[in-house]
Amino acid sequence: MPPSDVERIAAIKDPFQLLRVATERLNAAQQEVTELARLRRRVIQELHAQGLSYAQIAKEAGLTRGRIHQIRHTGPAPEGAFLGTGTITLATPLKQEAVNARPVVAMEDVTAAKRLEDLARGFDLAMELEHVPLGGQIDVNRPNLIVICGPKLSPVMAQLYESDPVLEWVKDDAWTLRDRRTGQIYRSGSDSQPPRPVDYAYLGRLPRPDDKGTLLVFTGIHPQGTLGVVQLLQTEIATLWGQVGDKRFSTVVGVEYDPQTGEPVRSELASPLYRHEED
């Protein structure tokens, strides 16, 4: 019988290597426990929604009714999986400063990242932050990746958005979003005459180029739209999870914002929530 992980780690002679490997394995084990607890709660919720009583679920699962009821109401919420599992990587773009040409991060992106990190933490998810570098070259073939970046700043992201079968980015005198099915064009209020404190944003889960998974992507036509998507996730993530789960989708988010602060006042779906056909 092959040795267990504990036995293998305990056999390491170098104490510092042992400490490092034991810590890494413990972190991985804790993530596994969290995700198994999330999965267990999700299954119980789904079975109960299908009409089974807690007593019936308990009998089939070999647990007590009280234990099933406890699992149903405690532990990490299933809808957290809308963002990903375990440790999530969130990438926001670097932009070039107009005066000194230095790479900088837009304040709105910093704010969006912080709020999204707080949301993830509430679901017992860890989040690591990184930047899409100037030039837009980013490796999107990674699990549990969220990217806040539009087609303007990254050719990689532009190509990824082109894989959407329904929604597309269009650049004329200004960037807009277009629904291929309805012909509807979503134009930011700040690019209209007279200007209005309204923006639109793209939100979707798209296939990785290597066809080995998906990634969650979103961005506003302008920064106010990006903040609006985060607000929508903060308030409606359970609904979104119930409608699309971890499957591919895309939608347009409409955002009304305070013209003085740029903070979203109201965020809602402006287009249908399109579920993409799975291969």
Beta strands in 94-240 (DSSP E): 95-96, 103-104, 126-132, 145-148, 167-171, 175-179, 185-187, 198-207, 214-220
Q: What is the pLDDT of residue 279?
A: 38
Question: What residues make up the domain containing 55?
Answer: 5-76
Q: What is the pLDDT of residue 268?
A: 97
Question: Which of 76, 109, 133 is the C-terminal boundary of a domain?
Answer: 76
Q: What is the pLDDT of residue 47?
A: 82
| CA pair distance 112, 124, nearest whole angstrom | 19
Q: What is the pLDDT of residue 27?
A: 78
pLDDT in tens, the chain (279 residues): 456 788 888 888 888 888 888 888 887 777 777 777 777 877 887 787 788 888 888 888 887 887 877 777 776 778 888 999 888 999 999 876 655 566 767 788 999 999 999 999 988 888 999 999 999 999 999 999 999 999 999 999 999 999 999 999 999 899 999 999 999 999 999 998 899 999 999 999 999 999 999 999 999 999 999 999 999 999 999 999 989 988 999 999 999 999 999 999 999 999 999 999 753
Q: Are 184 and 254 in contact (CB under 8 A)?
A: no
**One domain for residues 245 and 263:** yes
**One domain for residues 92 and 218:** yes
**One domain for residues 214 and 260:** yes
Question: Which of 54, 76, 98 is the C-terminal boundary of a domain?
Answer: 76
**One domain for residues 67 and 189:** no
**One domain for residues 162 and 266:** yes
3-class DSSP state of 136: coil
**One domain for residues 86 and 28:** no
Name beta bridge partners: 177. Answer: 169, 186
Q: What is the pLDDT of residue 198?
A: 97
Question: What's this model's pTM, rounded to 2 decimal places?
Answer: 0.79
Question: Which of 21, 44, 76 is the C-terminal boundary of a domain?
Answer: 76
| Number of domains within the chain | 2
**One domain for residues 95 and 149:** yes
Give the pair of three-digit tokens for residue 122. Answer: 């509430």
**One domain for residues 44 and 87:** no
